[in-house]
Amino acid sequence: MKTVIFCGGKGTRMREETAFRPKPLVLIGDKPIIWHIMKTYSQYGFNDFILCVGYKGDMIKRYFVEMPWLNNDFTITTEKHADIEFHTGNNDAWNVTIVDTGPESQTGTRLKQVEKYIDTDNFMLTYGDGLSDVNIDELYKIHHKNGKIATLTGIKPTSPFGVFQTSNGVVTSFKEKPVLEDRVNAGFMVLNKKIFDYIPDYDCAFEQEPLHKLALDSQISIFNHDGFWTAIDTYKDIERVNEMWEKGEAPWKNWE
């Protein structure tokens, strides 16, 4: 089963990094964000990926082409023609299809462009800037059980602000960045290929018209996840997840 990953955005809120490289290649430890996301899926046996690239997509292409010699010791013979002998086996067994979906395309348009590479009834979809310890197997089981076109992972986000309660115009208590009760889409999704019937021919965001139409048709089921999840939107976010990684406290790391 294919796993589609959106990798084409400009990451404008992380200009400290994305002025020089696409957000999926920003490093956590010594590996890019996209590697961490793909490792999450790989641990559940999902090793066939489609990357929808756009902004600085050539750098993502180059990363995967160069991955064998980046991750391994090797000997190269330069006489006449280059022969390379790799001495270590540090490559992940992934099939990676990289599709240039345009520098300005919105997510719905990016997804529509990879339809021809989807060869099963269902496929995974996620973003190239979210980390989670979500159980991919359980997510798929819910999708299969409910038989809807789309299954979204719902998480309860933490408020970015502290809140206070009042009584008769007087503050009675504070809560520092509480967990909200409503759930939001964490970006780990399973879709049936019927989803392509919901994506219009004009440029659109997947999160708008397609998902809204699915909701009106009662074609979205939810997989509730109460574990770890974070989006990586700003430079502060990348500093935070790097600190977690360096301390050995990265909840999304479910591999050895």
pLDDT digits (tens, 9 = 90+) for 52-104: 999 999 999 999 999 888 888 888 888 766 788 888 776 788 999 999 999 99
Separation in Å, CA 82 to CA 37, 79, 163? 33, 7, 63
Q: What pLDDT, on the 0 to 100 scale, is given for residue 68? A: 84
Q: What pLDDT, on the 0 to 100 scale, is given for residue 172? A: 67
* pTM for the model: 0.90
- The Cβ of residue 133 has, within 10 Å, a number of other Cβ atoms equal to 14
Q: Which of 159, 145, 134 is nearest to 224 (CA)?
A: 134
Contact 67, 49 (CB under 8 A): no
DSSP 159: P
Which residues partner with 174 through β-bridges? 164
What's the CA gap between 144 and 148, in Å, rounded?
A: 8
| Residue 110 binned pLDDT confidence (cut-offs 50, 70, 90) | very high
Per-residue pLDDT tens over the stretch 172-187:
666 766 555 678 899 9
Q: What mean pLDDT is reported for the chain?
A: 91
Which helix (H) or strand (E) is 18 found in, with range? helix 15-18
Percent of the chain topping pLDDT 70: 91
- Residue type at position 201: D
- The Cβ of residue 219 has, within 10 Å, a number of other Cβ atoms equal to 19
Q: Which of 133, 105, 139, 109 is nearest to 3 (CA)?
A: 139
Structure tokens at 33: 């964000």
